[in-house]
A and B are shown apart, each in its own frame.
Chain A
Amino acid sequence: MNPTLIRIGRRAALALALGAAFAAQNAAAQAAKYGPGASATEIKLGQTMPYSGPASAYGTIGKVQQAYFKMINDNGGINGRKINLISLDDGYSPPKTVEQVRRLVEQDEVLALFQTLGTPSNSAIHKYVNAKKVPHLLLATGATKWGDPQNNPWTMGFNLSYQSEGQIYAKWLLKNKPDAKIAILYQNDDYGKDVLKGVKDGLGAAAAKMIVKEATYEVTDPTIDSQILTLQGSGADTFIDITTPKFGAQAVRKAFDSGWKPLHILNNVSASIGSVLIPAGVEKAVGAMTVSYYKDQNDPQWKDDPAMLEWRAFMGRYYREGDPKDQSNLYGYLVAQVMTQILKQCGNDLTRENVMKQAANLKHFKLPLLLPGMELNTGPSDFFPVQQAQLQKFTGTQWQLFGELMSTDAR
């Protein structure tokens, strides 16, 4: 190699090193600021997870996140500080969530809450955390109400919101099937109405013309057969299916067996192959559509994806007892990466105010486990980190992405 080049390289390195030393000195001079739960050596985060109770299948999210922060700590932590994630069981029972969150805030004095799971559990602490001004970040629930900075400036969700999901379906239909005659089945509660609102907002003026029939069911209903027949009778050719897994499986089967066979848009809540499509009969679900925003480790196209390999290596090293086929383990890892980014951005100002400010300051943040091209953005008036997603179609064995990344500007 050319010796001058090397010399220049050395000189540049020296300059860089000097600059870095200077910057470090600057940072040290600029005294670090600490809120509750943060110090020069540690950052305390808290969460509640359903390790027991009806939703205990999701408990693995908390475990994978603890494993993730162990890895971060082994590699030196974030800005030199170790992360201490205190993860407590709430059994998916709201009163227990209140108790545990109060413990985290008042006794353990965590800097922020992270990924508390479940819509009812988070509803129970919503008011409390906002009164206490504790960052309540990246909640593991899809309800749209978590993105309300005006009234609840300390709460920010993570998941693609139900309304955004509905809008994406509407957008796709407007573009690709403008003459669709749409029949909608939705669960008669806040979740169902949330998705429905997204669909209607997305269709806008066309909603009145395009939606030919709506039907509802109660979670307590034994079956939805009669609803499906009513929807079929309306002559619709597109079926937006806003149901939870048990009813999702029934809908897939009945819409096929009754001979209706519409374009079946199945909401993401019921997109699980294992618990919905296989019980319904995979052959009946061929062609069904849903949304997705992060890579599926069971999808062969990501088999050799570097991010996927990295995740698998992590699973093998730090969370061996976790099931590598379980999507929750990928999801939990992904959200922990977002939290890491927020804490990195905080630098040495680890006050609750700054954590919230940085959470609302994600700019074009890309993560390799999100779908290609996706980025997370938040702002002081935008508390919805995930606003893009792509549609995928069921081939009979797996979900296959198609079309391009779609985004929702409004929520």
Chain B
Amino acid sequence: MAGLDRRKLVAVAVLLVLACALPFVIGNYRVFQATLVLAYAIALLGLNMLTGYNGQISLGHGAFYAIGAYTAAILMDKLGLPYWATIPISGAVCFVVGFLFGLPALRLEGLYLALATFALGVAMPQILKHEGLAHWTGGSQGVVIVKPDAPEWTGLSQDQWLYFFTLAWVVVFFVVAWNLLRGRIGRAMVAIRDQPIAAQAMGVNTSLVKSLTFGVSALYTGAAGALGAIAVQFVAPDSFNIFLSLTLLIGVVIGGLASISGAFFGAIFIQFIPNIADQISKAAPWAIYGIVLIAFMYMMPTGIAGFLRLARARLARRARP
């Protein structure tokens, strides 16, 4: 396992410094958007583990995003937990739910799994509205979350603080993912994707690895949901409809399947392209979105990350005589 080479390490460090400087040069509203991008990036990374690395298509990850968001909201609103404590709990809850959902669902292959997860995504808003849960979930009215203040010594605004809080989690999640995906487990995941029978023959416990992948993927998405909910300060069933699940999948594919950095590109895409589409046409924003989507897929079939990798390789080849 070769570690990061020095050039990459420098690049990551520079990016991190830029990320830290960002909230001081843009307004609070933009900081808020950047926070959402970071939260989406974590969610996309989670989905990418499942879809990109492990080859399982999920059309229902919005459901885990919702569970994470609601877990955080309920913990803060009903149990009075501090916001920072809700992230690991949301992640853990989603891990368990994802693992349990994964056990039976993973007997389903390919498209059938996609449909099963799709059903979960479709059902989630209705489950959240269910009368039996209304005491906790607030029914269709949702739950309002109090926005956390920055600790006084920092002198930051609420939005800046939340940005750094989210950024810290991004670092944690990406370092863990990087280690996971580069190691034994990551290789097993990819092997299952490419050659399931060969992987099994090599002694990989396919069903366990698949279930675990599903669980970890849900954990990431759930934690992202919690971070997103704290930034938005509100959760409601209408926030987590099936389009969220589809949007997440779009983000993964546009960013680049089986690519860690792709999560950021995908997150930027799903955060900003709808706004741009709305500015181009009020009559058919989704048509514009669709056109952009097709254009991206046509020009960069391996996603933005794949495109950049290709471009870099080509440049390097040209530089060498």
User: Taking beta carbons and an 8 Å cutoff, which residues of A are in contact with B?
Assistant: 51-54, 59, 62-63, 87-89, 91-96, 98-100, 102-103, 105-107, 119-121, 123-124, 126-128, 188-191, 218-220, 321
B105 proximal to A (CB < 8 A):
no
Q: Which 10 A-B pairs have the closest CB atoms?
A: A89-B278, A106-B29, A124-B234, A120-B238, A95-B232, A220-B126, A52-B285, A102-B29, A120-B236, A94-B239
Nearest CB on B from A52, distance (A): 5
B142 touches A94 (CB 8 A): yes
Q: Is B282 an interface residue (CB 8 A)?
A: yes
Q: Is the interface of B mostly helix, strand, loop or mixed?
A: helix
Tell yes or no: B43 within 8 A of A by CB: no
Interface contact A218-B130, CB-CB below 8 Å: yes
For residue B196, give the distance in angstroms from its CB to the closest CB of chain A: 37
Partner of A220, one of B129, B277, B286: B129
Q: Are A94 and B28 in contact (CB under 8 A)?
A: no
* Residues 191-209 of B contacting A (Cβ, < 8 Å): none
Instruction: Enumerate chain A residues within 8 angstroms of B131, measured Cβ to Cβ.
Output: 188, 218
**In the assembled complex, how far is the CB of residue B241 from the closest CB belonging to chain A, in whole angstroms?**
7
Residues on B lying within 8 angstroms of A by beta carbon are 27-30, 32-33, 36, 126, 129-131, 139-142, 144, 228, 232-234, 236-239, 241, 243-244, 274-275, 277-278, 282-283, 285-286, 289
Q: Chain A binding site: helix, strand, loop or mixed by DSSP?
A: helix
Inter-chain CA distance A189–B275, complex, in Å, is 32
CA separation between A253 and B289, bound complex, in Å? Answer: 40
Whether B28 pairs with A106 at a CB distance below 8 angstroms is: yes
In contact, B233 and A127 (Cβ under 8 angstroms): yes
Residues of A within 8 A of B30 (CB): 107
Q: Closest Cβ of chain B: how far from A261's Cβ, in Å?
A: 30
Contacts of A52 in B (CB 8 A): 274, 278, 285-286, 289
Q: Distance (Å) between the CB of A211 and the closest chain B CB? A: 21
Q: Is the CB of A220 within 8 A of B130?
A: yes
Q: Are the C-beta atoms of A95 and B278 separated by less than 8 Å?
A: no
Find out whether the CB atom of A107 lies under 8 angstroms from the CB atom of B29.
Answer: yes
Known: A99-B32, A106-B28, A220-B126. A89 touches B141 (CB 8 A): no
Least CB distance from B69 to A in Å reads 9
Whether A93 pairs with B144 at a CB distance below 8 angstroms is: no
CA distance A351 to B54 in the complex (A): 57
For residue B239, which residues in chain A have a CB less than 8 angstroms away from its CB? Answer: 93-95, 120, 124
Q: How far is the CA of A63 from the CA of B285 in the complex (A)?
A: 13
* Partner among A63, A128, A321 whose Cβ is within 8 Å of the Cβ of B233: A128
Q: Is the CB of A54 within 8 A of B241?
A: yes
Chain B residue at smallest Cβ distance from A100: B275
Residues in A whose Cβ lies below 8 Å from that of B140: 120, 189-191, 219
Max chain A CB contacts within 10 Å: which of B130, B140, B283? B140
Complex alpha-carbon distance, A271 and B158, angstroms: 45
CB pair B141–A92 under 8 Å, yes or no, is no
Q: Which residue of A lies closest to B229 (CB)?
A: A95
Residues of B within 8 A of A102 (CB): 28-29, 32
Check B36–A124 contact: CB distance below 8 A: no
Residue from A53, A89, A103 in contact with B29 in the complex, judged by beta carbons closer than 8 Å: A103
- Cβ distance B58 to chain A, nearest Cβ, rounded Å: 20
Assuming the contacts A124-B142, A190-B139, asked whether A107 and B27 have C-beta atoms less than 8 A apart, the reply is yes
Partner of A123, one of B141, B243, B244, B278: B141
Other-chain residue from A51, A53, A95 in contact with B228 (beta carbon distance below 8 A): A95
Q: How far is the CA of A321 from the CA of B142 in the complex (A)?
A: 36
A70 to chain B, nearest CB (A): 13
Contacts of A220 in B (CB 8 A): 126, 129-130
Taking a contact as CB atoms closer than 8 A, the residue among A91, A94, A189 that contacts B234 in the complex is A94
Q: With CB as the reference atom, state the residue of chain A lying closest to B237.
A: A120
Q: In the complex the two chains form, what is the Cα distance from A142 to B308 in whole Å? A: 50
Residues from chain A with a CB closer than 8 A to the CB of B274 are 52, 89, 91, 96
Instruction: Give bound CA distance, A99 to B275, whole Å.
Output: 10
CA–CA, A71 to B251, complex, Å? Answer: 41
Closest chain-A Cβ to B282's Cβ sits at a distance in Å of 5
Given A88-B278, A93-B244, A219-B129, 15 new contacts (CB under 8 A) = A51-B283, A51-B285, A52-B278, A52-B285, A62-B282, A63-B282, A89-B278, A92-B238, A93-B239, A94-B239, A96-B274, A107-B30, A123-B141, A127-B144, A219-B140
17 sample A-B contacts, Cβ–Cβ < 8 Å, listed by A number: A51-B283, A52-B285, A52-B286, A89-B274, A89-B282, A92-B238, A99-B33, A99-B36, A99-B232, A100-B275, A106-B27, A107-B29, A127-B233, A191-B140, A218-B131, A219-B140, A220-B129
Out of A98, A103, A189, which one reaches B232, CB within 8 Å?
A: A98
The docked-state distance in angstroms from the alpha carbon of A90 to that of B140 is: 18
Please indicate the chain B residues that have their CB under 8 angstroms from the CB of A191 in the complex: 140
Interface centre among A51, A95, A106 (most CB of B within 10 A): A95
Considering the chains assembled together, what is the distance between the CA atoms of A314 and B28 in angstroms? 40
Contacts of A189 in B (CB 8 A): 129, 139-141
Please, which residues of chain B bring their CB within 8 A of the CB of A219? 126, 129, 140
Query: Which residues does chain B contribute within 8 Å of A62, judged by CB atoms?
Result: 282
Q: Enumerate chain B residues within 8 angstroms of A96, measured Cβ to Cβ.
A: 274
Closest-by-CB residue of B relative to A63 is B282
Closest chain B residue, CB of each to CB of A191: B140
Shortest CB-to-CB span from A260 to chain B, Å, is 26
Chain B nearest CB, measured from A359 CB (Å) = 24
A83 → chain B closest CB, angstroms? 17
Contact present for B285 and A124 (CB under 8 Å)? no
